[in-house]
Amino acid sequence: MEIVVSREELVAELALLQGIVERRATIPVLSHLLFQAEGERLSLAATDLDVSLSTGCGAEVLRPGQLAVQAKKFTEIVRALGADEVRLTLAEGNNLAIESGRSRFRIRGLEAESFPTLPKVESSSELEFPLATLRQMIGKVLFAISSEESRFQLNGALFKATDSTLELVATDGYRLARVETDFSGAGAEGLAQGVLVPRKALQEILRFSGEEPVRFRRNEHHLSFRIGDRELISRILEGTFPDYERVIARDHEKKPVLSREALQLAVRRVSLLSGERARGVLLRFEADLLTISAANPDLGEAEEQVVCRYDGEPVQIGLNPDYIGHFLGAIESNEVRLELKDAESQCVGFPIEDPEGEAGDRYLCVIMPMHV
């Protein structure tokens, strides 16, 4: 293998591949990237066996060939290089020579054959949606994905599509975020039941940019997201996602409306005294006034009042301030509406996109109460 590539193009692809390479890989080859030079192109691939990315960039291929190269070192080297072009040459003993300007490196690689074969997702039907829409949806639910490894079925988000909507839902057992958007595309039958997409695949999609649409396919075990020449393949998380439609309360009658920013800042301030071991703040709604308070026997007490629009019975609820913060941080609307029943029942939060419209109902975040 001997090729010449543009350093800038290479660095852009390496940044995407970094997200896939397992940092604590126990199988040595998984900390490597697969290089394949052929035709006019250098193909690059990374996998952690669950999520894989194959991508590439144009190259002047003097001699085709392939090799697995240590991802972290290679990326560091290419980033540090000064010149615009990089020459990569496969030397004997699976070594890779990197030459650029006056710098010369030689790094050890592994045989390309030891790199796992990436799954192929063949399917007759394909969906297409804008990348920006998908990224926006992911940003709204990512925080609610459980990081508790033993609850593997919650280590991802449920991705669902019908002929007219796309839906993404995530929960960690304490809160749940759900976002829905209009979508006009036929052939969504494969997603009517929904599939569980691992967190890592969602995070990787957030790294992508550009105007190209996402072309989506699935088979029994894998999902494929194609964006231009790049293909992200993810194993489908197995397991049963909770029956979330049944869990979300729809009949709460206490619906205070308040400024998103004012609430966010006040909660952040009050939560400074909400305790280190178990964080909880108390929200008390009375006529047009919200009082947020926290008390901690070791530290002291804090209280702040926020104006709101509310004319129902007084109600109070204890909530984890981090959960409120994550919800408010995921949306951009000026105002939010909280729907409450009592201290024992869930709080459901909505952004208010437009005071007249119903558009805000397309996103909601359920937060379970805490006895404070």
Partner 1 sequence: MARIQLLPDHLVSQIAAGEVVERPASVVKELVENSLDAGAREIAVELEVGGKRRIRISDDGSGMGKEDALLAFDQHATSKIRDFEDLQRVATLGFRGEALASIAAVARVELLTAEAPGEGWRVRIEGSRVRSVEPASRARGTTLEIASLFFNVPARRKFLKQPRTELRRCVEVVQGYCLACPDITFRLSHEGRSIIDATATSADGEGLRERIRQLFGDQLADALVELPAGGAAGESIRGFVGKRETAKGRRLFIFVNGRLIRDRQVLATYYRAVRDEWKHDEYPSLFLFLGVPPEDLDVNVHPQKSEVRFRDASFVHRVSRVLREGLVSARGEEAAPLREAWGAAERPLAWSGLGAVSEPSIHETAAAFDTRDAGADAQSGVWDWRRDGRQKIAEAAYDRASPSEVPLSRGSRDRAVRILGQYKGAILLLETPQGLLLMDQHAAHERVLYEKLARAMEAEEPKVQRLLVPQLLELSPSERLQLDSLVESLQPMGLQLERLSGGDLALVGVPAVLSDQQALSLVLELAASEEQSTDPAALKRQILESVAADRACKAAIKIHHALPMAQMEQLVASLFACDDPYSCPHGRPTLLEMSDAELERRFGRR
Binding site for partner 1 (CB under 8 A): 26-27, 49, 148-152, 171, 173-176, 242-243, 247, 275, 277-280, 297-298, 318, 320, 344, 346, 366, 368-372
Q: Give the nearer residue to partner 1 in terms of CB position, either 25 or 97.
A: 25
Least CB distance from residue 353 to partner 1, whole Å?
Answer: 25
Q: Give the nearer residue to partner 1 in terms of CB position, either 65 or 318.
A: 318
Q: Give the nearer residue to partner 1 in terms of CB position, either 166 or 319.
A: 319
Q: Give the nearer residue to partner 1 in terms of CB position, either 50 or 85.
A: 50
Q: Give the nearer residue to partner 1 in terms of CB position, either 216 or 241.
A: 241
Which DSSP string corresponds to 327-367? Answer: HHHH---SEEEEEB--TTS-EEEEEES-SSSSGGGGEEEEE
CA-closest candidate to residue 236, choices 304, 153, 292? 153
H or E stretch including 79? helix 71-80
Least CB distance from residue 370 to partner 1, whole Å?
Answer: 5
C-alpha to C-alpha distances, 194 to 157, 183, 213, nearest whole angstrom: 10, 15, 21
Q: What angle do CA 27, 29, 31 make, to 5 degrees?
A: 85
Least CB distance from residue 343 to partner 1, whole Å?
Answer: 10
Structural contact between residues 116 and 29, judged by C-beta atoms closer than 8 angstroms: yes
Structural contact between residues 348 and 248, judged by C-beta atoms closer than 8 angstroms: yes
Least CB distance from residue 152 to partner 1, whole Å?
Answer: 8
Least CB distance from residue 87 to partner 1, whole Å?
Answer: 33
Q: Give the nearer residue to partner 1 in terms of CB position, either 105 or 363.
A: 363
Least CB distance from residue 106 to partner 1, whole Å?
Answer: 25
Least CB distance from residue 318 to partner 1, whole Å?
Answer: 7
CA 177, 207, 166, 54 torsion: positive or negative? Answer: negative
Q: Give the nearer residue to partner 1 in terms of CB position, either 290 or 366.
A: 366
What 8-state DSSP symbol labels residue 29? Answer: G
Least CB distance from residue 148 to partner 1, whole Å?
Answer: 5
Residue entry with tokens 């280590």: 155
CA separation for the pair 76, 80 (Å, rounded): 6
Q: Give the nearer residue to partner 1 in terms of CB position, either 250 or 277.
A: 277
Q: Is residue 206 exposed (0-12), middle (13-18) or buried (19+ Cβ within 10 Å)?
A: middle
The two structure tokens encoding residue 94: 């699976």
Greatest C-alpha distance within the chain = 79
In sequence order, which ranges of 258-304 are alpha helices (DSSP H)?
260-270
